[in-house]
Amino acid sequence: MSFYLSREIHDSFDAVLLNLETLLHENNYLIAANIDVQGALKNKLDVDLAQIRIIGTNTPRVGYQLFSSDPKVGVLLPFSIVLHALSKNNVEVTMINPEWLFRSVDNVAIKDLAGEIKVVFKEILEKL
């Protein structure tokens, strides 16, 4: 089992980011983090990278279910999504595989929820 789900999208970085944000919102996912890796590394280390953005996301329902089952599971949140510009109009979107993320959690309810989240993440990738 791979630790990620991934897809290349032939569109501009900004368009893919906007589409991703829209699809997350439509599925009740909130954006808890939005990190401009390229900008941060340019600012701190004066290095040049392609555009890379890390999005941290979760839904209130999922968060409630996870924290109700085991508060320690919070160390694995939020779910991460990485956008990486491969070229001007080619972006790779990589999402954490929730089943892989929770593979060592000894809780059936959490593992079942991970499967549900994976389905949503796959649907979002397909719609991008």
At 36, list the tokens.
């401009």
Domain 4-127 falls in which CATH fold? TATA-Binding Protein (3.30.310)
Buried b (16+ CB within 10 A) or exposed e, 57-96: bbbeebbebbeeeeeebeebbbbbbbbbbeeeeebebbbb
- Tokens 């599971």 — which residue? 73
Q: What is the rounded average pLDDT for all residues in the chain?
A: 97
Weakest mean pLDDT among 52-56, 81-85, 97-101, 104-108: 104-108
Domain parsing of the chain, residue ranges: 4-127
Give the tens place of pLDDT for each residue, 50-84: 999 999 999 999 999 999 999 999 999 999 999 99
